[in-house]
């Protein structure tokens, strides 16, 4: 849609509001009087118009109130994906073709980067040292923070008060670089402790999730009395199961599409929640690294998995339906979300099986 076409679209929305009696006392200007331009600082979208400010006095309303009347009518016009109101009453317009192009580009970027999507390359040169007490949850937390920091280009060294038991490394895959108190005082990661014996019996994936999904200041559920066995059940009530199941479903969709004779192709997809989750992944990794908070990543994976499971039913053709461009675009987005889930689980030290 060109600026001239958009100007006419804005005019059409205004005329509809006036005809419906939503804006009284307003004389509809000709198309040349409806100006659209690129958003100024503080704006958003592809174009913006100050029409609401121009007609507010005639409508005997504030510009913001006028904008709130025009916004839904303008958003319903063909070719417009969304309208946001900023400042005193500017209408910020996002075009549908622009959003489709952005969605396709996002999926292409994930497909190109693979499990390294959201990672920082090359290394930044920044150094970080993590120190922990000889306590299981603290060591697991440090191990995951190390992985996340490395994904952001940071070189990391983990130290511990004393040598952790070999079973912690064998069963949960943790490691430290040195033992003993550091020569200089430094901040220590001290999450709420978890009983080692009860945690280890859960196995690597469930144990790490049980320790990392809650915020460090929250109590983890690891004992049977606390409901720790819930991390092992394959039910929707178990967030870890949903994340791993969603990843497995993404892989299954690819296999099934191949059987139907079509493959993925990035394109326009009507799945805003999943697109938002995939797009937010790099920012989540950055925040998890800065705040030493793997729980932020874990919660983001749950959000991504739930959005993917909502989409999965529309990815493949049904019955005699032929594969279309929409199916190929949905498959590409599902595969991208599966890549995000697998990469995120890896940073938490948790496996992402293709069959579940």
How many of the other CB atoms lie within 10 Å of CB of 330? 25
Q: What is the pLDDT of residues 265-297, one digit of tens each?
A: 999 888 989 999 999 999 999 999 999 999 999
Q: pLDDT tens digits for 133-192?
A: 999 999 999 999 999 999 999 999 999 999 999 999 999 999 999 998 877 778 899 999
Integer CA distances (angstroms), 263 to 18, 256, 260, in order: 48, 10, 9
pLDDT for res 139: 98
Query: What is the phi/psi pair of residue 37, to 5°?
Result: -150, 170
Interval 70-111: pLDDT, tens = 999 999 888 888 899 988 999 999 887 777 788 899 999 999
Per the CB < 8 A criterion, the answer to whether 285 and 148 are in contact is yes
Average of pLDDT values for 110-134? Answer: 95
Tens of pLDDT, residues 222-276: 999 999 999 999 999 999 999 999 999 999 999 999 999 999 999 988 898 999 9
pLDDT, one tens digit per residue, over 11-70 is 899 989 988 889 888 888 765 668 888 887 777 888 899 999 988 988 899 999 999 999
Cα dihedral sign for 285, 287, 290, 296?
negative
Edge to edge, the sheet with strand 188-189 lists: 178-179, 155-160, 127-132, 188-189
Q: Break the chain down into helix, strand, coil percent, rounded to 5.
A: 55, 10, 35
Q: Can you give the pLDDT at residue 30?
A: 65
């Amino acid at each position: 849609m060109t600026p001239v076409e958009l100007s006419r679209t804005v005019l059409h929305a205004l005329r509809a509001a006036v005809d419906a009696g939503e804006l009284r006392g307003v004389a509809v200007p000709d198309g040349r009087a409806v100006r659209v331009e690129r958003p100024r600082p503080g704006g958003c979208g592809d174009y913006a118009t100050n029409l609401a400010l121009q007609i507010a006095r005639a409508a005997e309303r504030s510009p913001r109130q006028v904008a709130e009347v025009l916004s839904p009518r303008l958003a319903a016009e063909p070719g417009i994906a969304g309208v946001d109101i900023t400042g005193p009453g500017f209408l910020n317009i996002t075009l549908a073709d622009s959003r489709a192009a952005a969605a396709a580009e996002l999926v292409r970027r994930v497909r190109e980067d693979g499990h390294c999507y959201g990672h920082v390359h090359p290394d930044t040169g920044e150094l970080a040292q993590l120190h922990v007490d000889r306590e299981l949850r603290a060591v697991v937390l440090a191990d995951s923070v190390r992985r996340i920091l490395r994904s952001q280009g940071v070189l990391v060294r983990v130290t511990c008060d004393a040598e952790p038991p070999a079973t912690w490394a064998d069963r949960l895959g943790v490691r430290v670089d040195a033992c003993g108190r550091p020569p200089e005082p430094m901040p220590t990661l001290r999450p709420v402790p978890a009983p080692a014996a009860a945690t280890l019996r859960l196995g690597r994936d469930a144990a790490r999730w049980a320790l990392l999904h809650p915020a460090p200041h929250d109590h983890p559920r690891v004992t049977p009395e606390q409901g720790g066995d819930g991390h092992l059940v394959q039910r929707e009530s178990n967030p870890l199961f949903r994340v791993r199941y969603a990843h497995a479903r993404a892989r299954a969709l690819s296999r099934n599409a191949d059987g139907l004779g079509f493959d993925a192709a990035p394109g326009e997809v009507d799945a805003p929640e999943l697109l938002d989750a995939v797009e937010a992944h790099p920012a989540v990794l950055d925040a998890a690294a800065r705040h030493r908070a793997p729980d932020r990543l874990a919660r983001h994976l749950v959000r991504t998995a739930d959005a993917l499971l909502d989409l999965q039913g529309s990815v493949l053709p049904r019955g005699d339906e032929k594969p279309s461009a929409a199916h190929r675009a949905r498959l590409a987005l599902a595969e991208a979300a599966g890549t995000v889930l697998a990469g995120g689980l890896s940073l938490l030290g948790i496996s992402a099986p293709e069959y579940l």
